[in-house]
Structure 1
Amino acid sequence: MESLIGTGVALVTPFKKDCTVDKEALARIVNFSIDGGIEYLVVLGTTAENATLSATEKEVVIATVVEANKGRLPLVLGVGGNNTMEVVSELKTRDLSHFTAILSVSPYYVKPTQEGIYQHFKAIAEASPLPIILYNVPGRTSSNMLPSTVVRLATEFKNIVAIKEATGDLVQCFEIIKNKPKDFLVISGDDMTALSLVLAGGSGVISVIGQGFPTTFSEMIRLGLNRKVDQAFSIQYELAPIIDMIFEQGNPAGIKQVFESMGIAENTVRLPLVHVDQNLASRIHSFVQMSKK
Structure 2
Amino acid sequence: MAVFQGAGVALITPFHADGSVNYEKLAELLEEQIAGGTDAIIACGTTAEAATLSEEEHSEVIRYCVRVVNHRIPVIAGTGSNCTATAVKLSREAEAAGADGLLLVTPYYNKATQDGLFRHFAQIAESVRIPCILYNVPSRTGMTILPETMARLYHEVENIVGVKDATGNIAMSSALMALVDERFELFSGNDDEIVPLLSIGGSGVISVLSNIAPRQTHEICQRWFDGDIAGARREQLRALPLIRALFSEVNPIPVKAAANLMGMEVGSLRLPLTDMEEKNREVLEKEMKKYGIL
TM tier, smaller: over 0.9
Equivalent AA in structure 2 for residue 272 of structure 1:
P
Judging changes above 3 Å, is the alpha-carbon distance between structure 1 residues 116 and 239 closer, same or farther for their aligned structure 2 residues? same
Judging changes above 3 Å, is the alpha-carbon distance between structure 1 residues 266 and 74 closer, same or farther for their aligned structure 2 residues? closer
Equivalent residues in 2 for 1:200-215, closer than 5 Å: 200-215=200-215
Partner of 1:287: 287
Equivalent AA in structure 2 for residue 247 of structure 1:
F
Equivalent residues in 2 for 1:1-293, closer than 5 Å: 1-92=1-92, 95-290=95-290, 291-292=292-293
Structure 1 unmatched ranges of 5 or more: none
SS at match of 1:71: coil
Equivalent AA in structure 2 for residue 205 of structure 1:
V
Q: CA deviation at 1:250?
A: 0.8
SS at match of 1:34: helix
Distance 1:87 1:66 in 2: 19
Q: CA deviation at 1:97?
A: 4.1
Q: CA deviation at 1:173?
A: 0.8
Contact 1:133 1:163 survives alignment (8 Å): yes
Distance 1:236 1:215 in 2: 13
Judging changes above 3 Å, is the alpha-carbon distance between structure 1 residues 182 and 229 closer, same or farther for their aligned structure 2 residues? closer
Q: CA deviation at 1:71?
A: 2.4
Distance 2:226 2:93 in 1: 40
Q: CA deviation at 1:253?
A: 0.7
SS at match of 1:27: helix
RMSD: 1.7
Distance 2:106 2:93 in 1: 21
Distance 1:113 1:84 in 2: 14
Q: CA deviation at 1:33?
A: 1.3
Contact 1:76 1:99 survives alignment (8 Å): yes
Contact 1:261 1:288 survives alignment (8 Å): no
Q: CA deviation at 1:265?
A: 2.3
Contact 2:63 2:94 survives alignment (8 Å): no
Distance 2:92 2:74 in 1: 21
Which consecutive segments of 4 or more residues in structure 1 shift more than 3 A?
89-95
Q: CA deviation at 1:211?
A: 1.8
Distance 2:60 2:92 in 1: 20
Identity of aligned residues (%): 35
Distance 2:180 2:171 in 1: 14
Deviation by residue 1:41-78 (Cα, 9 ceiling, x = unmatched): 01111111111112332244224323432321111111
- Normalising by structure 2, what TM-score? 0.94
Equivalent AA in structure 2 for residue 4 of structure 1:
F
Equivalent AA in structure 1 for residue 271 of structure 2:
L
Q: CA deviation at 1:225?
A: 2.5
More displaced 10-residue stretch of structure 1: 88-97 or 138-147? 88-97
SS at match of 1:179: coil
Contact 2:95 2:128 survives alignment (8 Å): no
SS at match of 2:247: helix
Judging changes above 3 Å, is the alpha-carbon distance between structure 1 residues 205 and 52 closer, same or farther for their aligned structure 2 residues? same
Judging changes above 3 Å, is the alpha-carbon distance between structure 1 residues 155 and 19 closer, same or farther for their aligned structure 2 residues? same
